[in-house]
Amino acid sequence: MSIAKPVGAGRREEVRLDSAASHLLEECRMVLPGIQALFGFQLIAVFNDAFDHKLAPGERQVHFLALFLVALSAALVMAPAAIHRQSQLREVSERFIWLSSRLLRMSMYPLALGLTLDVYLIARVVFGAPILGLVFAGILFVALIVLWLVLPWREARENR
């Protein structure tokens, strides 16, 4: 009698350090353009005439906080390339993989919060009701936390 494997379960193999580094840097390259695009839109909004008219001073400060969080997220995503270039130009270590993976994971927190704050502000402007902004922002925040943090944590636990 055979035991059925869970859907998606299959063969696993260990990855060499150079391949792991390559995968990790590729993941950073996938995330970074989205962060950069969001940051660009956040910057443009500040220089738009409607920015001062549609947002109260406190909301403009919330927008600045969102912009800062997205910039922080970009810095965390870009850090592995800087670390590799400056400390391990011709080699790859387990420490580099560990540290870079941690930085990429850490970047998800400020990115999720920055996106959530911007969605709140946009929903508040579009619907004219702060409560709807909070509802949409809350839904997005929960979705991002589940998809970016809880699900990967659960998968890592299952794979141990």
Domains contained in the chain, number: 1
Contact (CB, 8 A) for 102 and 46: no
Give the mean pLDDT of the chain.
87
- What pLDDT, on a 0 to 100 scale, did the predictor assign at position 51? 84
Asked if residue 57 is part of any domain, the answer here is: yes
Structural domain for 102, as ranges: 18-159
Instruction: Encode pLDDT of 88-113 as tens digits.
Output: 667 778 888 888 889 999 999 999 99
Entry pTM:
0.83
| Confidence grade of residue 120 (pLDDT, cut at 50, 70, 90) | very high
- What pLDDT, on a 0 to 100 scale, did the predictor assign at position 143? 97
Asked if residue 4 is part of any domain, the answer here is: no
